[in-house]
A and B are shown apart, each in its own frame.
Chain A
Amino acid sequence: MESLLKLSLSAHYANKPAVLREVTFEIGRGEILGLVGPSGCGKSTLSLAILRLLHLKRGAATGSIEFQGRDLMLLRESEMRALRGKEIGLVLQSPLASLNPALRIGTQLAEAWRAHVKSSREDCNEAIRQMLSTVSLPSDDEFLRRYPSQMSVGQAQRVLIGMAVLHRPALLLADEPTSALDPVTQSEILRLFANLSQRFNMSILYISHDLLSVAAISHRVAVLSAGQIVECAETAQVFRNPQHPYTRALVDSIPLQALNELAGNQHATARTAAAGSSK
C-alpha cells in the first residue's frame, strides 16, 4: 500500500513533561488506522500536532510529518493553511461545540468551501448539497437555515464530518468522533466513515479510547500509552494476540461475547479457560 503519512513526532506543553515521545507510525493511502489509548495519553495532541495547530493549546511539537512526500514541519504557515481542510480534514469530539453557535449551517458550510475554492454561489451551493446527501442529511433550504442548537447531536456530527470531507481530503483525522453519541448513532457514524474512506479512497486516523468502535472500522490498530506507540498491528492480530500489557488490559476489558464476535481468537479462548478454572 502506498504510504500517505509517515511521522515521527514528540510533543510537549509549556512547562510540562513530554506528552508524545517519538511517536512513529505510517498510514497507507485509503487505510483506516485506529489509534487507541487511555484519556490523557496524547491522542488529541497528536491530531493537532499533525495539523500544526498545537501552539493554540500552548504546545509544541518536534520531529517530522511526511505527508504525500512533503515534511509538514518544514512548510510555511500559509502553505499549511492551504493544506488544512483541503488535504487533511479534522473531526472533533464534541459536534455541537465544534460548530459555530452564531452561524447558520449553510453559512458554516459555505465558509468551509470558500476557504479553498473561489467559485460562484451556485457552485458552492451545489457542492454543499452533494456533500450533505453523501453524509445522509437533508439539503433543503430549511435545513441549511438552521443553527447548530436546532439540530440533534448526531446531525451535528454528520454536518461536521461533511464539512471535513467537503474538499475530499486525502487524510481525515477523526478525534473521538463517536464518544458523544448514543450507540445507534455511533454505529451509523462508523459506517459513514467506512463508506467515505472507500468512496473517496480517503485515509482515516481514527482516534478513540473505545476499542470496539476502533475494531469495527480499522484495518490496523496502534496503541498509544504514556506518550508512546506500544503496539501497532493488523486489527485481528491485536485482538487475537495482544503483546503489550496495556493492550492486553484493553482487550480484557471487552465483554467475552463481543470479543469472540470480533476475532474468534485465542485470547478469548484463553480468557474463557481462565474464567472456567477460577470457578
Chain B
Amino acid sequence: MIWMRNIAIGVLAMTFAACLLAGTIAPASYAMQFREEPDAAPSHQHWLGTDDLGRDRFSRLLQGTRISLLLAPAAAFLTSVLAGLIGGIAGYWGGWTERVLMAAADLVLSLPWLFLLLTARALMPLNVSPMNSVAITFLILGLLGWAAAARVVCAGARSLRASDFSLQARAMGCGEARLLFRHVAPNLQPMLLTQFWISIPVFILAEANLGILGLGVVEPLPSWGSLLKELSGLTAISGQPWVFVPLLLLIAVVTSFQVLLVDQELPS
C-alpha cells in the first residue's frame, strides 16, 4: 500500500524535522513558566495551552519528542549491537558458549519486562539531574532489550556457520575471527537492521510507561512519558482535549514505524 507508506514517511519526516528544529520553532523554553496563566486553553501564544505550572505545552511537546525520538534510536542501536555481538558469538561458536549465552538470554526473556525495567531503574539513584535521568533511562532500555534479538541473531549465525560459503572461506585459509567479522557479520546485517527498527517503537512505549510511573526522564525535562503522565488524572483533564495531543503523536509515530516495517517485509 504505497499511500500508507507515503503517509507514514510524511508523519515521521515532519515529526523528526519538528524535533530537530525544536529550538527554533518552539515559542518558549520547555521550563519557562507563565505563572499568570496556569492550565490555560490553546491560544495564539500557547498553541496547546499551558500545564498546571504554566509551561507552554507545545514547546514541551517539541522538546519531549526530540528526547524520545532521538534517544529511542540510540537505545535501539545499543540493543542491536549487543544482540549482534552476543547472538553472533553464541551462534557462531556454538557448544558451551551458545548454551551459556542463550541461557542468559532466556533468563532475561523470562522476567516480566516492565518489572525488570522498574527494578533496574529503582536500583539507580533517583535524585539525578534531568540530563542524567535521560541517559540512565535509555541506557537501561538499551541494556535490557537485547535478549529476544540475540536469540534471532544466534539462529541466523548458526545457520551461516554451517553454510557452503563459510566452508569455502575456511578452505581458502580464512581464520575464525575474520570469518565471523568479515564473512558472517555482513549476512547478519539485515537481521540486525530489522531488530533496530522494531526496537524503536518498543523503547518509545517503554520510556512512556516508565514516565507515567515517575521513573523516566526527570522534571523539568519533558519526554513523551512525562507528558503522558498528565493523562493519569482523567477527571482533571475532562474538557481539555488538547492534552491528548502527545498521545495522538505517540500513536501516529509508532503506527508509522510499524507501517514502514510491514511494508519492508512484504514481497514486492
- Give the interface of A toward B (CB within 8 A): 48, 51, 53, 56, 81-86, 89-90, 92, 94, 97-103, 111-112, 115-116, 160, 163-164
Contact = CB atoms under 8 A, between A and B. Distances in A.
Contacts of A115: 172-175, 178
Given A97-B163, A103-B183, A111-B183, A160 B168 contact: yes
B170 interface: yes
Contacts of A98: 164-165, 167-168
Contacts of B167: 48, 53, 56, 92, 98
B91 to A, nearest CB: 14
Nearest to A87: B173
A160 B167 CA distance: 13
Contacts of A56: 162, 167, 170
A111 B171 contact: no
A86 B186 contact: no
Contacts of A85: 171-174
20 contacts: A51-B171, A53-B167, A56-B162, A56-B170, A84-B170, A84-B172, A90-B171, A92-B167, A92-B168, A98-B164, A100-B186, A101-B165, A102-B186, A102-B187, A111-B178, A111-B182, A111-B183, A115-B174, A115-B178, A116-B173
B165 A86 contact: no
Contacts, number: 69
A25 B22 CA distance: 77
B209 to A, nearest CB: 37
A41 B75 CA distance: 53
B168 A86 contact: no
Contacts of A99: 165, 168
B248 interface: no
A94 B163 CA distance: 11
Contacts of A48: 167
Interface string B153-181: 00000000011110111111111001000
B189 interface: yes
Interface string B23-61: 000000000000000000000000000000000000000
Given A100-B187, A101-B187, A102-B187, A112 B164 contact: no
Nearest to A113: B172
B257 to A, nearest CB: 25
Contacts of A82: 173
Contacts of B186: 100, 102-103
Given A84-B173, A116-B173, A90 B183 contact: no
B189 A86 contact: no
Nearest to B172: A85
A83 B171 CA distance: 9
A85 B172 CA distance: 4
